[in-house]
Amino acid sequence: MTQTIQDMAFERALRMLDAAGAQYAIVYNDQTYGTLELAPPPKVKRRGPGLYPRGTTRAHFLPYIEALEPGQSAQIPYADFDVNILQSNVSAFCSTTWGAGSAMVRQFEEEDELHVIRFF
């Protein structure tokens, strides 16, 4: 069997790793090389359908906070949404739009609303 240039480069890399005393585990052409044990591949997390149709929570909270300037606050009623999902979505929007740590979102059960304050 004729060696490819990739095979020759791979063998050279293995010789260099061995000469350096390195520990390694490499999979090449469906074979494992080296003395380290390979970790199992990570499980793929499957995402099921959300509790609400895409964009529903955003359409609810966006009118309350889209015009917030630094130092201003807003109150978002829970409506018929799960408060934890709503809070998570609002927090994600604030972080993505204004930057990490730019806002604080808290639940106020007695008023059935989220309070949002924008810092910067």
pLDDT at 1 over 70: no
Mean pLDDT of the chain: 92
What is the distance between the alpha carbons of residues 64 and 61, in angstroms, rounded to a whole number? 6
Q: How does pLDDT run across 25-76, given as a tens digit for each residue? A: 999 998 999 988 878 888 887 677 888 999 999 999 999 999 999 999 999 9
What is the distance between the alpha carbons of residues 120 and 109, in angstroms, rounded to a whole number? 26
Q: H or E segment at 25?
A: strand 25-28
Report the candidate in 98, 99, 103 with the shortest Cα–Cα distance to residue 76. Answer: 103
Q: H or E segment at 74?
A: strand 73-77
Residue 118, Ramachandran bin (φ over 0: left; ψ between -120 and 50: alpha; else beta): beta
- pLDDT greater at residue 114 or residue 39: 114
Q: What is the pLDDT of residue 47?
A: 74
